Amino acid sequence: MTPGISFTTVVKEDIVRPKSVSDSFSLPRKRALLSAFTRYNGHLRIQHAQNEIVLRSENAKVAKFIYSLFKEVFSVEPRFSFRKNMRFNKRTAYLVRIDDKVDEILDTLKISFISGTIDRSIVYSDDTAAGYVTGAFLAEGTVNSPQSSNYHLEITCRDQVQAEKLARLIERFRHAAFTPKVIIRRERYIVYLKKSDQIGEFLIFIGATAASLQFEATRIDRDTANAMNRIQLCDAHNYKKTLDAAVKQIEDIKVLDKAVGIANLSSEKLSVLAQLRLTHEDANYQELADLLSAELQTENPISKSNVAHLFRQIKTLAAQYQGHHD
């Protein structure tokens, strides 16, 4: 990903690539997309007794895409302009204005700026559902970078009905198991996904295939690195446990060596294991078992559990000579 460019920008610009749209978007899907985009961030302006649809985006490529799509679907000539917000974040807003065939567009796309319901003549299949959700995401969607530990994709809605209808539409998509949730944030309703596998599937759902591959590759690399870190931490923890146990075992062996001598312990196994522990202070039980098997040339390999049992015997004997039991 190019430094300084958000992953949301990457996703949206992947969706609006001309080749992607012309090859895979049917006319009903394009209409559903325009319907959602207009409802989610457009408004109707009346000036000099003439209606005008005004659409806004902070992404120039998205605005150009919407401009071209209205021109293609409705044979109109939208006006394209931009303005810079100097008061807050100084971002540039790109505006698409349509003052021709406004009534026809509103009727064809079943656009209502009051009702949050989704008209069944616009969304009636998985293809049109994908188009509608794509339009909503292009208008008001964001997604965190997969490099972040906080996987999150959301679409901001105008009201509760709009949010609930959108969440239901996403949830009912038959080719993926989406579980969208709805929350209120600063008096706006948010539809969101948190699970990384669902976000990857959702990006494919809205036509951002290349971005989805990038998301999955980055997520897998990050998850693999985290897994390796956990393994290393686990190995370090196990190594510390081995050393702590070895220190106590060596103390017990020294007590026995002083009292009776290592060579005089009750069995050859105990004597050899005691000597091996003294010469291999950081060896784990499996390593000691292998060394003990080789030293005694046993027919059947000695197991880790057998080594643990022998060390318990050494501990019991040492406690007797110390005059107390642990």
How far apart, in whole angstroms, are the C-alpha atoms of residue 8 and residue 116?
Answer: 25
Q: Tell me the helix, strand and coil percentages in the chain, rounded to 5.
A: 55, 15, 30
Q: Determine the pLDDT at residue 282.
A: 82
How far apart, in whole angstroms, are the C-alpha atoms of residue 276 and residue 268?
Answer: 12
Give me the helices (H) in 42-114, please. Answer: 60-74, 102-108
Dihedral sign from CA coordinates of 89, 98, 162, 171: negative
How far apart, in whole angstroms, are the C-alpha atoms of residue 86 and residue 88?
Answer: 6
From 209-213, 309-313, 320-324, the region with the lowest mean pLDDT: 320-324
Q: Which residue has the higher pLDDT, 90 or 42?
A: 42
Within 115-202, strands assigned E span: 141-143, 153-157, 181-185, 188-193
Q: Does the pLDDT of residue 326 top 50, yes or no?
A: no
Q: Determine the pLDDT at residue 88.
A: 58
Q: What tens digit of pLDDT does each residue of 237-273 get? A: 777 787 888 888 888 888 888 888 888 888 888 888 8
Q: Does the pLDDT of residue 29 top 90, yes or no?
A: yes
Q: What tens digit of pLDDT does each residue of 179-203 get? A: 999 999 888 999 999 998 899 999 9
The residue-averaged pLDDT of 204-218 equals 89
How far apart, in whole angstroms, are the C-alpha atoms of residue 234 and residue 232?
Answer: 5
Q: Does the pLDDT of residue 3 top 90, yes or no?
A: no
Q: Determine the pLDDT at residue 47.
A: 75
Q: Determine the pLDDT at residue 72.
A: 92
C-alpha distances out from residue 21 to 65, 140, 171, 206, Å? 9, 19, 24, 11
Q: Which residues, including other chains, have CB under 8 Å from residue 134's CB and lie 6 or more apart?
A: 15, 33, 36, 206, 207
Task: Name the average pLDDT for the chain.
Answer: 86
Q: Does the pLDDT of residue 14 top 90, yes or no?
A: yes
Task: Return the percentage of the chain with pLDDT > 90, whole number.
Answer: 43
Q: What tens digit of pLDDT does each residue of 137-152 get? A: 999 999 998 887 788 9
The residue-averaged pLDDT of 278-287 equals 86
Domains of the chain: 7-207 (3.10.28.10), 227-322 (no CATH)
Q: Determine the pLDDT at residue 319.
A: 87
How far apart, in whole angstroms, are the C-alpha atoms of residue 106 and residue 119?
Answer: 12
Q: What tens digit of pLDDT does each residue of 298-313 get? A: 878 889 899 889 989 8
325 falls in which pLDDT band (50, 70, 90)?
very low
The residue-averaged pLDDT of 279-299 equals 85
